[in-house]
Amino acid sequence: MDFTKKMLRDDALKGKVIVVTGGGSGLGKAMTKYFLELGANVAITSRDLDKLQATATELTNDAEGECLAVQCDVRHYDQVESMLRQVLDKFGKVDVLLNNAAGNFISPTERLSANAFDTIIDIVLKGSKNCTLAFGKHWIDTKQTNSVILNIVTTYAWTGSAYVVPSATAKAGVLAMTRSLAVEWAKYGIRSNAIAPGPFPTKGAWDRLLPGDLAEKFDMAKKVPLKRVGDHQELANLAAYLVSDFSAYVNGEVITIDGGEWLKGAGQFNLLEAIPEEMWDMLEAMIKAKKGS
């Protein structure tokens, strides 16, 4: 079995209309590509219309579904409402919202300006809130059921993490919103779930997070028990399942896909894996000797 292969059958998303924020590049583009291959029509949004249009053209060439590029800054609610109207005008409905737009950078928190902190909060938390509220209101007002919200969070959304405090703060809020609305909006036929990806390197995001030779010095694969980073198709497979009807009973869940990375970092004694076998033999002999004394 090859984990880079496609998981669902070709018509799994046929008839679905999906909106992917931040869909012009990186993981958003990878998920969009697979949604289109599975028969969905997908609207991709970001602030960069040229990039969106280039991506839409590229992905539509080899896909079953149609890709629509819509410029939208998710930080502004009026732009989100306009984006939703454009999608409805084009496709007549929308079934899935995938909140993927994000921003992040590594920095000691005391070095951040208030504006830099706000930028991440506004894109990740406020942007997800704006889209969720606009789409949720539309679905409730039109009595549309079988709708899905899928949020991309992080494993440090529940643990926190030094040096990415704005992102950790914002993603924790998105995670709380996911779980809260899973209960509150289920009666309207709206499911809310989240994915917490581990290392899935993308050109743009990873260049910003680990500029210069930092990527070589901080080999992310070494932090993962499976000793590799994620393949984009693996994430796309999971996302496609969660927005499909096959996951109709999954609600309020956050699914981690990180090769065990966060669990390795969370365990108090996990660093002991660096101890060589010979030293374990010595330690075992010392422990046995101490028991016998």
Supply φ then ψ for residue 199, to 5 degrees: -70, 110
Element holding 41 (H helix, E strand): strand 41-46
Tell me how far apart the alpha carbons of residues 115 and 263 are, in angstroms, rounded to a whole number.
Answer: 33
DSSP-assigned letters across all residues of 80-123:
HHHHHHHHHHHHS---EEEE---------GGG--HHHHHHHHII
C-alpha pair distances (Å), 209 with each of 16, 23, 148, 212: 34, 19, 30, 10
**Of 156, 163, 188, 241, catalytic:** 156
- For residue 272 the two structure tokens come to 């002991």
Catalytic annotation present for 156: yes
- Residue partners of 233: CB distance under 8 A and separation at least 6: 3, 4, 5, 6, 30, 34
Cα–Cα distance, 229 to 201 (Å, whole number): 7
Q: ∠129-118-69 over CA atoms, to 5°?
A: 50
CA triple 186-192-196, angle to 5 deg: 155
First to last CA, the chain: 53
Position of tokens 């669990």? Answer: 263
What is the sign of the dihedral through the CA atoms of 256, 1, 62 and 240? negative
Residues with a known catalytic role? 156
